[in-house]
Amino acid sequence: MSAGTSLAAQRLAAARVVIVGLGLMGASLGYDLRGHCARVVGVVRRPDTAAEAVAAGCVDEATLDGAAAVAAADLVVLATPVRTILRQIAEWGPLLPPEAVLLDLGSTKTAICRAMAELPPHVQAIGGHPMCGKETAGLAAAEPGLYRGCLFILCPTSRTTPAAQALAEALIAHIGARLLVLEPERHDRLVAAISHLPYLAACGVVAQAEQVAAVDPRVWEVAAGGFRDTTRVAASDVTMLLDILLTNREAVLAGLARYRAELDRLTTLLTAEDEPGLRAYLEAVAATRRAWGRRGG
């Protein structure tokens, strides 16, 4: 461990960490940090959620007063939907004390990092996106170790000092995640292809099955593992996904255009009963998927 890494780890251990939003991601982070930082404070919207979070043990305390919590923090983590994060950056970002660090967990980064760059000069901010989660949302779905082994992307901004990035990296190391640093625009282009488009594709598969079910409901009895695996993400939290799609619209639209072209190509091959062409296409895709699997996918 280098001297800089050790210093950042010590800074994390001494930090008062404020997690805004105690759903799946925020509460799971709280479980991993509580007892390893000076204090873990959760910011929630309802008194009953505050009581549940403290009883569950994911935070030392919970409050509805986000402004006061942020103003007393060493590290603030925004774990809310993307458009809520954008509002919180503008509203609470300037309240951070000097040398405090602002990190988010949003699934799109360009708009968030742009908003962070507009904060007052004393605010040290960095964009973050842990590539993990579940279809179920909320405090009840949270669990210790959710981040272990997952990829955690950081997107530095003009408000990111070396010390701020080191603190974010210390947090990532503590929760057992793997670090990758990307530019915000590159991040959004890549996740549109491998996360946001697959969600929409799964929604389309479910919607077409529902059309079949309107004529023959037994289709749901026939549906088995392939349908379940292909459409799993279609059950994800809609509010969260709406924020993601609308803040990464251009990259998602580009992905949809590529996907539509591939569907058109398959339609042409199948319509023409072009068995050699269809075989070549399917074998090439299978080889690509197997190669990704061998890399640990």
Which residue, 135, 162, 182, sits at the end of a domain? 182
Could you tell me if 164 and 211 lie in one domain?
no
Closest CA to 28 of 130, 96, 163: 130
126 with 164: CB under 8 angstroms? yes
Same domain, 103 and 15: yes
* Nearest 10 degrees: Cα torsion 286, 292, 295, 297: -110
- Judgement on whether residues 246 and 229 belong to the same structural domain of the protein: yes
Last residue of a domain, one of 182, 203, 236: 182
- What does the block give as tokens for 217? 């409901």
**How many residues make up the chain in this entry?**
297
pLDDT recorded at residue 158: 85
Q: Are residues 125 and 7 in the same domain?
A: yes
Can you give the CATH number for the domain in which 208 is found?
1.10.3660.10
164 plus 37 within the same structural domain: yes
* Residue 155 and residue 26 share a domain: yes
* The domain boundary residue, chosen from 165, 182, 199: 182
Residues 221, 138 share a domain: no
**64 lies in the same domain as 158:** yes
Query: Both 222 and 255 in a single domain?
Result: yes
Could you tell me the CATH number of the domain that includes residue 170?
Answer: 3.40.50.720
What is residue 136's predicted lDDT score, i.e. its pLDDT? 79
Domain that holds residue 173: 3-182
The per-residue pLDDT for 164 is: 96
Q: In this predicted structure, what is the pLDDT of residue 134?
A: 75
Residues 124 and 258 occupy one common structural domain = no
Q: Give the chain's domain count.
A: 2
Give buried/exposed letters for 5-15 (b at 16+ CB in 10 A, else e): eeebbebbeeb
Task: Please indicate, yes or no, whether residues 265 and 174 belong to a single structural domain of this protein.
Answer: no
Report, in this order, helix, strand and coil percent for the chain, each rounded to 5. 60, 15, 30
- Residue 4: the pLDDT is 65
CA dihedral 41, 46, 48, 51 (to 10 degrees): 10
Q: How far apart are CA 271 and CA 122, in angstroms?
A: 62
Q: Assess whether 201 and 123 both reside in one domain.
A: no
One digit per residue, the tens of pLDDT, for the chain of length 297 reads 565 678 999 999 999 999 999 999 999 999 999 999 999 999 999 999 999 999 999 999 999 999 999 999 999 999 999 999 999 999 999 999 999 999 999 999 999 999 999 999 999 999 999 999 777 789 999 999 999 999 999 999 988 999 999 999 999 999 999 999 999 999 999 999 999 999 999 999 999 999 999 999 999 999 999 999 999 999 988 988 999 999 999 999 999 999 999 999 999 999 999 999 999 999 999 999 999 988 876
Q: Would you state the pLDDT for residue 3?
A: 59
